[in-house]
């Protein structure tokens, strides 16, 4: 027995050693070293003297080459292990093989870059100065394309407004955290929706913000010193693991990071900002009063945290960029995935617990076709082969194309809320109908902020274990008596809904302020109810985000919620459903109903809320139905 254990141990050690050897052998950095000139820890100077740490990978050629540029707050130090580091090397390898230099840079104040970091607050001039430095390098052809997802994408839009002559093309993916205000959508970089805080940044900041006492590299350190130091000091400490599902429950919410011993200076500042605070307009967010100067190939996802702002921005640029050539050269892909999960689609893509079929797409081929067109000047067939909008329709589970978003064939059809006043206690009572209710039989429910409706699935990002993103069967959730349910009759024929979903509610409450949430759902014949998108409105902001108007008991108020977005085919026999409540937590911070600041309060009050529906109060949802 002892000999068998020794043999098994020997085999395991051998196998593990072999695996590590094979991984080491397949390190993309080794292959890069053969075909690329690698220049790491180049300290790129900004106009104020701050230097940003930059790694450059370029082909071994005498010819001048175009540049693919990625700027990020994340760690890309090539020494040691880590998914981000491997991904950086893989992207660099692919770019170099295709004849591009790949340049990756840390934002100001991150890792080996000098200066102080501020989420979305670093100077826009850093991007502009980086473009100027790169175009002047003797190996550069002067054409630069930007590429990245999430925090590596969000900075691109505001810098595109500066219209640097070398910024020739961009590919922003999952870019909602860089979108401030676009028309009536006012999320301020995913911090808000409908005036309610989205809690993703509460969790994200805990994981990424580095301590003010982190080691500092001496000013003027040489490139040689920085390369040597980077082998020993990764400057990437990890905070202790935290149960975010529990951490986000803490009240007041201004103390959430303090309560888990996280670094809180940036959070302390942002948690006090109201949706229209001037500070939102001083950082790195893109707003609709800015121009836009760069041809763009946008990537969005149905189950990303900010699908509607993303699509609104695409339309805004197409309609409002001052340069007609820029307006004409905007393309869009919408995948049925979670945040930045495009390439994880498989022949049976599961998003949450719903299968959406084979959602794969030739992303890399299209992206490099786009860059070849704009950075190399190749007269390729990208425009002939690539639809203006490629969108994936769930339900029929296939890619479709359109010249606009929503598709030109989409027409809004209004469905009104009907019931006898029991939509919160009877699954059979709430009805979505094309006819208005004649008599107002409002549906009431009690919203207790100490017992909020838990987020179950949804369009989320970055909340750790607090929220599972994607599509989940909502049947058990709908048994709560603080959720109103309105369902259409079973469809006699299939219906495609593709576009923006608009919702108008007439509401009342005995609280000074409260929230109303809505969720769009595809109900299967067996009763399974899969969520598609969701939104929220804080009632004090119903008249705009530049003022707060509180409620009076007994008064009925109209609220227009931020549009939802989807492309879903409801098959014959399916039903269309919406859920209405006053909380979706911790996807959104709960309203404590007091009319106070909310962020500095630990005690809430119970609100008795009602949704009205009649000819006088036509609460409704408008669905973009695509005619075939």
Segments making up each domain of the chain, as ranges: 2-195+275-402, 410-626
Edge to edge, the sheet with strand 65-72 lists 36-45, 51-59, 101-106, 65-72, 140-149, 167-173, 296-303, 330-338, 389-393, 398-402
Task: Return d(Cα 31, Cα 36) in angstroms, integer.
Answer: 9
How far CA 180 is from CA of 99, 145, 366, 588, in Å, comes to 35, 23, 28, 18
Say whether pLDDT at 15 is over 60: no
Per-residue pLDDT of 139-150, as tens digits, reads 999 999 999 999
How confident is the model at residue 83, as a pLDDT?
63
Measured from the Cβ of residue 561, the count of other Cβ atoms closer than 10 Å reads 22
Lookup: tokens for 87: 């991904």
- Same fold for the pair 2-195+275-402 and 410-626: no
Q: What whole-number distance in Å separates Cα of residue 415 and Cα of residue 621?
A: 5
What is this structure's pTM? 0.94
Per the model's pLDDT, the better-predicted residue between 217 and 495 turns out to be 495
Is the pLDDT reported for residue 386 higher than 60? yes
Give residue 23's pLDDT band: very low, low, confident or very high (50, 70, 90).
very low
Tokens of 10: 């020997």
- Residue 26: pLDDT band with limits 50, 70, 90: low
Q: What is the DSSP letter of 420?
A: S
Fold of 410-626: Jelly Rolls (2.60.120)
Give the pair of three-digit tokens for residue 268: 């302390």
Average per-residue pLDDT in the chain? 92
pLDDT of residue 10: 36
Residue 357: closest CA among 399, 387, 407: 399
pLDDT digits (tens, 9 = 90+) for 200-243: 999 999 988 877 777 778 888 899 999 998 888 888 777 889 99
pLDDT, tens only, 153-162: 999 999 999 9
Q: Is 560 helix (H, G, I), strand (E, B) or coil?
A: strand
Given a cut of 80, whether residue 108 has pLDDT beyond it is yes
Predicted local distance difference test score (pLDDT) of residue 216? 79
What pLDDT is stored for residue 235 in this prediction? 83
Question: Does residue 81 have a pLDDT over 90?
Answer: no
Distances (CA, A) of 574 to 62, 349, 492, 527, 532: 62, 21, 9, 9, 14
pLDDT band at residue 283, thresholds of 50, 70 and 90? confident
Lowest mean pLDDT among 48-62, 210-224, 258-272, 515-529: 210-224
Look at residue 13 and tell me whether its pLDDT is greater than 70: no
Q: What is the pLDDT of residue 239?
A: 84
- Does residue 500 surpass a pLDDT of 90? yes
What is the mean pLDDT of the segment spanning 519-540?
98
Chain Cα centroid distance, residue 139: 35
Summarize the confidence of residues 553-567 as an average pLDDT: 97
Interatomic CA distance for residues 166 and 141, integer angstroms: 9
User: What is the Cα–Cα distance from 583 to 614, expressed in whole angstroms?
Assistant: 24
- 532: tokens are 């598609």
Q: What is the pLDDT of residue 21?
A: 36
- Is residue 19 predicted with pLDDT exceeding 60? no
Decide if pLDDT at 555 tops 90.
Answer: yes
User: In CATH, what number does 2-195+275-402 get?
Assistant: 3.40.50.1820
What's the confidence (pLDDT) of residue 84? 59
As a whole number of angstroms, the distance between CA 45 and CA 152 comes to 20
- Report d(CA 216, CA 113) in Å as an integer: 10
307-349: pLDDT as tens digits? 999 999 999 999 999 999 999 999 999 999 999 999 889 999 9
CA distances, 470 to each of 151, 244, 557 (Å):
20, 18, 32
Q: Is the peptide bond before 406 cis (omega within 30 degrees of 0)?
A: yes
- pLDDT tens column, 585-615: 999 999 999 999 999 999 999 999 999 999 9
Question: In percent, how much of the chain has pLDDT > 90?
Answer: 84
Pairing mode, if any, of strands 354-355 and 389-393? unpaired
């Amino acid at each position: 027995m002892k000999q068998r254990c020794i043999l098994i141990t020997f085999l395991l050690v051998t196998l593990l050693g072999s695996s590590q050897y094979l991984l080491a052998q397949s390190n993309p950095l080794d292959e890069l070293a053969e075909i690329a000139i690698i220049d790491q820890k180049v300290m790129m100077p900004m106009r104020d003297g701050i230097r940003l740490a930059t790694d450059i990978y370029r082909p071994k050629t005498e010819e001048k080459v175009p540049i693919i540029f990625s700027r990020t707050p994340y760690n890309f130090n090539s020494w040691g292990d880590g998914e981000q580091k491997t991904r950086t090397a893989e992207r660099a390898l692919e770019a170099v093989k295709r004849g591009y230099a790949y340049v990756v840079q840390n934002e100001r104040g991150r890792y080996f870059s000098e200066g102080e970091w501020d989420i979305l607050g670093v100077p826009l001039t850093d991007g502009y100065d980086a473009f100027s430095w790169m175009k002047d390098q003797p190996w550069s052809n002067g054409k630069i394309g930007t590429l990245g997802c999430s925090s590596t994408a969000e900075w691109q839009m505001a810098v595109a407004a500066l219209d640097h002559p070398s910024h020739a093309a961009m590919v922003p993916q999952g870019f909602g955290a860089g979108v401030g205000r676009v028309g009536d959508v006012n999320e301020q970089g995913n911090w808000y929706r409908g005036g309610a805080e989205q809690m993703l940044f509460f969790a994200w900041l805990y994981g990424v913000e580095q301590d003010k006492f982190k080691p500092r590299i001496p000013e003027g350190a040489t490139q040689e010193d920085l390369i040597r130091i980077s082998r020993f000091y990764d400057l990437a400490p990890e905070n202790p693991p935290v149960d975010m599902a529990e951490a986000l429950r803490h009240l007041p919410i201004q103390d959430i990071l303090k309560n888990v011993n996280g670094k809180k200076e940036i959070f302390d500042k942002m948690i006090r900002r109201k949706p229209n605070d001037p500070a939102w307009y001083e950082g790195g967010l893109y707003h609709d009063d800015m121009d836009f100067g760069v041809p763009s190939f946008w990537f969005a996802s149905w189950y990303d945290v900010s699908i509607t702002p993303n699509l609104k921005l695409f339309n805004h640029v197409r309609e409002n960029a001052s340069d007609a050539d820029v307006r004409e050269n905007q393309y869009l892909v919408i995948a049925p995935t979670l945040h930045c999960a495009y390439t994880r689609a498989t022949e049976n893509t599961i998003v949450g617990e719903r299968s959406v079929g084979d959602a794969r797409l030739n992303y890399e081929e299209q992206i490099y076709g786009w860059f070849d067109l704009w950075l190399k000047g190749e007269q390729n067939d990208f425009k002939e082969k690539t639809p203006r909008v490629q969108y994936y329709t769930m339900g029929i589970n296939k890619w479709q194309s359109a010249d606009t978003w929503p598709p030109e064939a989409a027409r809004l059809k209004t469905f009104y809320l009907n019931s006898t006043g029991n939509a919160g206690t009877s699954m059979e009572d709430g009805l979505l109908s094309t006819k208005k209710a004649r008599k107002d039989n409002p549906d009431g429910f009690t919203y207790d902020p100490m017992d909020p409706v838990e987020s179950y699935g949804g369009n989320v990002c970055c909340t750790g274990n607090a929220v599972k993103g994607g599509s989940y069967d909502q049947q058990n959730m709908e048994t709560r008596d603080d959720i109103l349910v309105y369902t259409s009759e079973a469809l006699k024929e299939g219906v495609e809904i593709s576009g923006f979903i608009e919702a108008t509610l007439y509401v009342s409450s005995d609280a000074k302020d409260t929230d109303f949430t809505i969720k769009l759902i595809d109900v299967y014949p067996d009763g399974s109810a899969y969520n598609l998108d969701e939104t929220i409105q804080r009632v004090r902001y119903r008249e705009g985000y530049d003022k707060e108007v509180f409620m009076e008991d007994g008064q009925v108020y109209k609220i227009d919620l931020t549009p939802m977005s989807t492309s879903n085919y409801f098959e014959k026999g399916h039903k269309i459903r919406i859920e209405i409540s006053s909380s979706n937590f911790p996807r959104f911070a709960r309203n404590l109903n007091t009319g106070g600041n909310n962020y500095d309060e630990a005690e809430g009050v119970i609100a008795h809320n009602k949704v009205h529906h009649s000819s006088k109060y036509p609460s409704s949802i408008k669905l973009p139905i695509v005619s075939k």
